[in-house]
């Protein structure tokens, strides 16, 4: 039995240090939580930058954040969301959401079982987006 099979006690479960993690596929709920996390991060950054702007600039910046959120710019499958997924923060956040844990625990899990977690992530991505995989196979 391979390492991945040993990690998976059942489909979409991951066992580590006697803890069983229920691992979700990427569904609309996960996408929404990722979008909300990206928007929260943008708001935190805006708050940090507040002292660097006058009141009018800050108001305009917040309006732009709101407009971007309403237009879907923070969506997981938007250009911004896809780019963010390539970052450390994006990858850790996605893993945290899929495993139902916080980012701190996700970093710890990645530190201790990186190869196994990334192998499982590949399975989750394939099962979440089978049409993408089929399209890639047709191009080859």
**Tens-digit pLDDT profile for residues 100-120:** 999 999 999 999 999 999 999
Query: Can you give the three-state secondary structure of 57-120, one letter per residue?
Result: HHHHHHHHHHHHHHCCCCCCCCHHHHHHHCCHHHHHHHHHHHHCCCHHHHHHHHHHHHHHHHHH
Q: Is the pLDDT of residue 128 over 50?
A: yes
Please report how the helices 103-128 and 130-139 are oriented relative to each other, as an axis angle in degrees rounded to 10. 60
The H or E element containing residue 42 is: helix 28-49
The residue ranking higher by pLDDT, 104 or 135, is 104
Phi and psi at residue 16, to the nearest 5°:
-150, 125
pTM: 0.82
The H or E element containing residue 13 is: strand 13-16
What is the rounded average pLDDT of the residues 42-49? 95
Quote the pLDDT of residue 10: 40
3-state SS, residue 18: coil
């Amino acid at each position: 039995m391979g390492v991945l099979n040993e990690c998976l006690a059942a489909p979409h479960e991951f066992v580590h240090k006697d803890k069983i993690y229920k691992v979700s596929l990427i569904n609309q709920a996960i996408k929404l939580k990722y979008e909300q996390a990206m928007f929260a991060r943008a708001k935190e950054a805006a708050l940090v930058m507040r002292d660097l702007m006058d009141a009018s600039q800050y108001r305009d910046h917040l309006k732009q954040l709101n407009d971007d959120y309403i237009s879907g710019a923070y969506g997981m499958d938007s250009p911004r969301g896809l780019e963010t997924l390539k970052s450390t923060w994006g990858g850790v956040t996605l893993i945290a959401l899929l495993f139902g844990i916080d980012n701190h625990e996700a970093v710890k899990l990645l530190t201790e079982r990186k190869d196994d977690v990334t192998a499982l992530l590949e399975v989750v991505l394939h099962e979440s987006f089978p049409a993408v995989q089929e399209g890639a196979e047709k191009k080859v």
